[in-house]
Structure 1
Amino acid sequence: MKLSFTKMHGLGNDFVVIDDREAQWDFAPEAVTWLCDRNFGIGADGLMLVRNATLEGADFAWWFRNADGSVAEMCGNGIRCFAKFVVDRGLIPADQQTVLVETAIGVLSIDVTRAYDGTLHLATVDMGEPVLTPALVPTTLGCEQPNDPVVNCELVTDAGTVRVTCVSMGNPHCVLFVDDVAEAPVHTLGPVIENHPAFPNRTNVEFAEVDEAAGVIRLRVWERGCGETLACGTGACATTVAAALNCRGGREATVELPGGQLAIRWAENGRVYMTGPATEVFRGEIDIPEDDEDA
């Protein structure tokens, strides 16, 4: 059976996107891994399905898996690509400026800025309030009191002891501040922290270099279930929050990732807003082996 798909990316963080409004597909982890394989499949950091909403008030529902087949509660770059897909396909009225998407962490509001031809140019996503309570991140780390945020706390690993700040943006993040992000041990320390027992659901790991005077955060991310990616939207949000908590900057930052820039704002209402682009790369079809159909 042939599967129609669209390849998209947000700052190089790339995804396979499938229109599944008829609820035809329910991919098993092995099928997701195959589709995302860069040698034997399409190749991507994750797989997204566009589905009809089940919650009142939402326009669409979002189904997402990491490249290893695991569930991701949220993906900031992915949700911008999702918005571009529904806007560019004309799945919402041409004068509609906000897309409401049902996700695992609730209904997200995405404000869209259209280009002259009506396609999506930029998306601003209301990512909600950061979660700082350790048990809800989740992490077993703690500082002085059990419910205190994990801010600049020690984490002992087999690769040494580091100081970390833990934030959830619907998915867990562990942020480390470094002097030179280009020299950060992303590929050695990243997987060690991702799979550390202090994080029962594993964690994304951020290595951040802050230029307070310029309001810039230079960031590399080891993503849970993917490895290092060119960009991570939730990671950029979590790191901006962590920087503010550590008095390393204000509540707004330009976050520079290997794939490009995101504008992040931790507003006074407590919510985090992310603005950035999304790009369609190509459309295609792929033959799905019978064993993977409706897997």
Structure 2
Amino acid sequence: MQLHFSKMHGIGNDFVVLDCRQRHFPLNATQIRALADRHTGVGFDQLLSVEPARDPSCAFYYGIWNADGSPSGQCGNGVRCVAAWLHREGALTLGENVLIESPSGRVTVRLLGAHEVTVDMGEPVFEPARIPLTAASAADHYLIETGDHTLEIGAVSMGNPHVVVTVPDLHAPELQRLGPLLSGHSRFGQGANAGFVQRVDRGHLRLRVHERGAGWTLACGTGACAAMAVLHQRAEVDDRVLVELPGGTLRIDWAGPGHALWMTGPAAFAFEGEWTVPALTA
């Protein structure tokens, strides 16, 4: 079977987008991993499917799968790419607020330009059971054991779980080890995206993210939202923050509890292609 796809990225966080508006999602976990292989497949951080909405209040649904074949609940850079893809298909209009449905619920998208999208990511969730994180109660700081180290972390859900660690140096060698350890830590029942954030000033952060199911990425949209939200809860940043990632910069706006968090950034098309789906079983 030949599978047509679009290759896209949001500041380097790259995706394969499949049009499933008139057919069922065609791949199993083994085939997703084969497609994700950067040597023998196409390569991506996440796979996105555009499908008919389950929720009648939404225009479309999008599914999300990590490079290891596991499903994901939300992807900030991915939803911007879905919106830009839908605009190219003639399904979204510039300047219009549109509800689309993710695996973790509804999101509002608005195209500021053909390749610039702002997204209502909902209100950050700090309740441990909903992240999920094993902890007695919600707190701005938690202590977590990683081998022979005790780290001070923040934790939040942006539709997927995030651990946030403030560091003075994003190039410190120990981060290469800590990223995978935190992503798979036993206190996070579903794993977590591990973000290491350097605070430049109240309106500027630098960030690196190790994503569960994908590893180190050039950018993570929900990670940028999570880092801003955790530091905002600690009164360390303002209501508008630029988050600089290895692949580029996102703008995050959040006025605090009771308000939705908005993420703004680009979405880019790389190329179109056809991939021969291997006849594999799950």
Structure 1 length normalisation: TM-score?
0.91
Asked if 2 retains the 8 angstrom alpha-carbon contact of 1:159 and 1:189, the reply is no
1:193 alignment partner, SS class:
helix
Note if 1:135 corresponds to 2:129.
yes
Structure-to-structure mapping, 1:218-229, within 5 angstroms? 218-229=206-217
Asked if 1 retains the 8 angstrom alpha-carbon contact of 2:95 and 2:112, the reply is no
| Residue from 246, 256, 267 that aligns with 2:255 | 267
Deviation of the 1:56 alpha carbon: 1.2
2:198 alignment partner, SS class:
strand
Q: Which residue of 2 aligns with 1:285?
A: 274
Asked if 1 retains the 8 angstrom alpha-carbon contact of 2:8 and 2:271, the reply is yes
In structure 2, relative to structure 1, the CA distance for the partners of 1:184 and 1:125 (3 Å cut) is farther
In structure 2, relative to structure 1, the CA distance for the partners of 1:155 and 1:40 (3 Å cut) is same
2:90 alignment partner, SS class:
coil
Deviation of the 1:140 alpha carbon: 0.4
Higher mean displacement: 282-291 or 7-16: 282-291
Q: Which residue of 1 aligns with 2:104?
A: 105
Paired positions, count: 281
Structure-to-structure mapping, 1:167-178, within 5 angstroms? 167-178=156-167
Deviation of the 1:110 alpha carbon: 0.2
CA-to-partner distance for each residue in 1:9-64, whole Å, 9 max, x for gaps?
Answer: 00000000010111232421111111111011000001111101121121111111
Q: Which residue of 1 aligns with 2:186?
A: 197
CA-to-partner distance for each residue in 1:107-134, whole Å, 9 max, x for gaps?
Answer: 11001112xxxxx221110000000001
> How far apart are the structure 2 equivalents of 1:5 and 1:252?
35
> How far apart are the structure 1 equivalents of 2:59 and 2:108?
10
> How far apart are the structure 2 equivalents of 1:46 and 1:148?
30
Q: Which residue of 1 aligns with 2:244?
A: 256
Q: Which residue of 2 aligns with 1:148?
A: 138
Asked if 2 retains the 8 angstrom alpha-carbon contact of 1:178 and 1:184, the reply is no
2:222 alignment partner, SS class:
helix
Q: Which residue of 1 aligns with 2:87?
A: 87
> How far apart are the structure 1 equivalents of 2:101 and 2:229?
24
Asked if 2 retains the 8 angstrom alpha-carbon contact of 1:99 and 1:112, the reply is no
Unaligned runs of 5+ in 2: none
2:78 alignment partner, SS class:
helix
> How far apart are the structure 2 equivalents of 1:191 and 1:168?
18
Cα RMSD of the aligned pairs, angstroms, is 1.5
Structure 2 length normalisation: TM-score?
0.95
Deviation of the 1:96 alpha carbon: 6.2
> How far apart are the structure 1 equivalents of 2:213 and 2:103?
17
What is the letter of the counterpart of residue 135 of structure 1? A
In structure 2, relative to structure 1, the CA distance for the partners of 1:147 and 1:54 (3 Å cut) is same
Q: Among the aligned pairs, what percent are the same residue?
A: 40
